Amino acid sequence: MNYLLKSHLGDLFKIGKLSISKNHSAFTLLEILVAVMIFGIIMLTIFSSFRAFLVSSKIIKAEIAASEVSTSITNIIFRDFLALRISLPPEYSKQRSTSPITGSSSTISDSSTLSSSIESDIDKFRFIGDETTEDRIGFSRIRFASLAHISFKNSGVARIVYYARPNEEQGVDLCRSDTLNRFDDTEGTECDPVICKNISRFKVTYLDIEGDEHLEWNSESDTYSYGTPVAITIEIDFQIMDSVHTFSTSISMPLFRHPLR
């Protein structure tokens, strides 16, 4: 009887001792706080890395979009200028260009005859580069003749105009006018396609045969000796995904008219 009681008391003592040992092996408050702090540092590192990945992904997407826009602009502009058409001597002459616009001594009484004479004397393949203002910002505008007319049916020499036009988002777009068999100085219409959206700069620099740069050009002007540029440089700043990208290219004219001295 005493033996069984002692054995039972001994078992209870062992169980109690085991429980005490288990209580002593549990995590303390300090250990829990340290673990939480380490977990927080790890999560902060992961979050920072993920955020950096998202930012990098956004930048990469913007760069890809900008590259696609630049490629599209390059293809269109080079196609237009590779098909450039200008009047060359002997069909073109300085005397033909300046009379009667600059005031010849001959007198034409009929206004319709005068208008017809002026239109026949103006070079329909003239090369014009000037500047327009949109929202108090100056943008280049360039007009020339080209065989790169975009059409499903008709073909021929068209009047190409690159110009800046305000958009509905209070910004400015670069547009391309393409009018077949029309060689007046019409700027463009609302139907003209957009070449590049949200531009902040469109600058064209013209290079003459002597290597001098000009911000404007008029092949019908004595200032430029009735010649055409031998090359141009085009610079465009445009916005994609809250970042501004720059497009720049230089084009050598496939043909040009030497100055008429």
Task: Give the tens place of pLDDT for each residue, 179-226.
Answer: 887 766 666 677 799 999 999 999 999 999 999 999 999 999 999 999
Higher model confidence: residue 238 or residue 58?
238
User: Which residues form the domain of 248?
Assistant: 58-100+112-252
Whether the pLDDT of residue 107 is over 70: the answer is no
Would 106 be classed as within a structural domain? no
Residue 249 CA to residue 254 CA, distance in Å, equals: 15
Would 2 be classed as within a structural domain? no
**Number of structural domains the chain divides into:** 1
Would 1 be classed as within a structural domain? no
Count of CA atoms in the C-beta half-sphere (13 A) of 205: 12
pTM, two decimals, is 0.71
Would 46 be classed as within a structural domain? no
**Mean pLDDT score, 68-88:** 94
Would 199 be classed as within a structural domain? yes
Would 27 be classed as within a structural domain? no
pLDDT digits (tens, 9 = 90+) for 122-174: 788 999 999 998 777 899 999 999 999 877 677 789 999 999 999 988 899 99
Helix intervals (H) in the chain? 2-24, 29-82, 94-98, 111-121
Would 232 be classed as within a structural domain? yes
Whether the pLDDT of residue 71 is over 60: the answer is yes
Amino acid letter, 17: K
Residue 118 CA to residue 100 CA, distance in Å, equals: 6
pLDDT digits (tens, 9 = 90+) for 17-50: 544 444 556 678 888 888 888 888 888 888 787 7
Q: Output the pLDDT for position 6.
A: 54
Residue 255 CA to residue 137 CA, distance in Å, equals: 32
Would 261 be classed as within a structural domain? no
Q: Output the pLDDT for position 29.
A: 82
